[in-house]
Amino acid sequence: MQHLDRTLGNFPPIYGPHLEESHINSQHGKAWKLVNELSGRRTSQRGQIKGDTQQERVKNWYEHFVGLLGSEPDAIDADIVIPSIFENLGIKEGPFEKDE
């Protein structure tokens, strides 16, 4: 609170009470909105998908996630059988049963 009281003097008088009230009432979002307005800081465009129309944004969204998935791996030895290390562990591989 002391830090806030010291810095309120730098803001125009109309904002001081609103900022202090927001701080006291734990309305941190409102307080930061006032601080950002006073400082001229803008929000980042990081989470927004680029595109002028909805169709462009959907296309860009789709291409983004297709790129994340990647492509099929180039398996050179796809036909090689990998031997099992543990055998006969008694683990059921079927659907769940009521007893479980």
Q: pLDDT, tens digit, for every residue of 30-67?
A: 777 877 777 777 776 667 788 889 999 999 999 888 88
Could you tell me the residue range of the domain that residue 20 belongs to?
Answer: 2-36
Say what the pLDDT of residue 100 is: 64
**In this structure, is residue 28 part of a structural domain?**
yes
pLDDT at 84 over 90: no
**In this structure, is residue 13 part of a structural domain?**
yes
**In this structure, is residue 7 part of a structural domain?**
yes
**In this structure, is residue 12 part of a structural domain?**
yes
- Structural domains in the chain (count): 1
**In this structure, is residue 16 part of a structural domain?**
yes
Asked if 79 and 70 count as a contact pair (C-beta separation under 8 A), the reply is no
Query: Cα–Cα distance between 23 and 30 in angstroms, integer?
Result: 9
